[in-house]
Chains A and B, each alone.
Chain A
Amino acid sequence: MLGEFEYLLITTAARLGDNAYGAAIREGIEEVAQRKCSIGALYTTIERLENKGLITTWMGEATPERGGRAKRMVRVTGKGVRAAKEFYEAMMRVSKGASWAVNQTGNLS
């Protein structure tokens, strides 16, 4: 099963779609999770997820605002989507009956 940070990364990458790359994912995680995301944690997790076959990465285009440096683009694979879905369902099941989870919908389409 995925770890919490792995789930955050996959979900953010999936949400960003074709715009998923290092800086955007980092910003997305910090915005949603309300916590700092170090570049070290981000890139080591990206590599780990890629080794597990849950995401694929490639070097994208260079832009002027990046000083002409390329982006590391990320795409979630089918296996990654399944792993994220499993994690989400497990969290929903385990949260059922907990006071903070009342009135939350846990159904997945």
Chain B
Amino acid sequence: MTYNAWSMVEFSARLLSRNERDAVLGDFLEASEAPWKALFGVLGLAMRRRLMLWKSWRPWFAAFGLSLPCSLLLMYVSISVICTLERLLGFHLGHWAPTGHEGFLMLLCHIFLLITWSWTSGFAASSLSPRTLCWNAAVCLLVGTRFISMHTHFDPVSPYYSLLFVGPAIWGVRQGRRMLRLPLRHAVALAATMTLLMTWAWTSNALWVFNWLLLYPAWYLVATARTVPYNPTRQVASSTR
């Protein structure tokens, strides 16, 4: 095998797990496989591995039952929060203003809710199907930004505003990958606080009815919370999902 061709095979083998990469590359070397055959072999195996992940219900639910609807709603909430802030500060860069009467206190409540909604959605999506997260994120951002652009085509800044939720969501994803499940006490405290604040916002006519959907990742985290102390070995075993 030429050096360049072999480098390509080795580079593409990074898509495989470390042990599998060793075994597969070793097999190719031992069989003196042609470089292009080895390359297609590695890519074929990597593709099969990715496709096999979708045989379970978890990635489908994480993508279409959680990530996509939550991202769409969170994009609107992000725009709403920034527009409210602009209105309260007395300037407005865009033309689309989905909010009207909220004061600073309600704005703080919305900011807290936006952060916790995003965090819990990211955590839940990550604990449901950690290995398909990149696909989920790509689909959500593509569909979401397209959807937002279609509905706010007259406003050039809204698509950028709509990505405000991404930071807390990534934070939630990272935590979810590390912990997989929250301690029960923390999960209950978080979900209860969110429910209380949403109820207050709802009774003040400052909450869209569909925003209630954003509460279910928090209660999902309660339902799947761990009641036993943190055990790193068990967490590693379950992270193979």
- Which residues of A approach B to under 8 Å, CB–CB? 21-23, 26-27, 38-41, 43-44, 59, 62-63, 65-67, 69-72
Contacts and interface: CB of A to CB of B under 8 A. Distances in A.
Nearest to A23: B27
Contact of A62 (B26, B31, B47, B52): B26
A40 B31 contact: no
B52 A44 contact: yes
Interface in B12-59: 19-20, 22-31, 41-42, 44-45, 47-49, 52
Size bracket of the B interface? 20 to 34
Nearest to B33: A39
Interface residues of B: mostly helix, strand, loop or mixed?
helix
Q: Give the one of A23, A39, A63 with max B CB within 10 A.
A: A39
Given A44-B49, A69-B29, A39 B22 contact: no
Nearest to A39: B41
A26 B31 contact: yes
Contacts of B31: 23, 26-27
A67 B27 CA distance: 10
A62 B23 CA distance: 9
B24 A39 contact: yes
Contacts of A70: 19, 22-23, 26
A39 B25 CA distance: 10
Contacts, number: 67
Contact of A72 (B23, B41, B45, B47): B23
B22 A26 contact: no
Nearest to B42: A39
Given A39-B24, A40-B44, A43-B24, A72 B29 contact: no
A43 B45 contact: yes
B51 to A, nearest CB: 9
A40 B26 contact: no
B19 A59 contact: yes
Contacts of A23: 26-27, 30-31
List 3 A-B pairs, minimum CB-CB distance, nearest first: A69-B26, A66-B26, A72-B23
A65 B29 contact: yes
Contacts of B52: 44
Contacts of B24: 22, 39, 43
Given A22-B27, A44-B49, A71-B27, 11 more contacts: A23-B30, A39-B27, A40-B45, A43-B20, A43-B24, A44-B45, A62-B26, A63-B30, A66-B29, A70-B23, A72-B20
16 contacts: A21-B23, A38-B45, A39-B28, A40-B41, A43-B45, A44-B48, A62-B22, A63-B26, A63-B30, A65-B29, A66-B29, A66-B30, A67-B25, A69-B22, A70-B23, A70-B26
B19 A72 contact: yes
A39 B26 contact: no
Given A22-B27, A26-B27, A59 B22 contact: yes
Nearest to A25: B27
A63 to B, nearest CB: 8
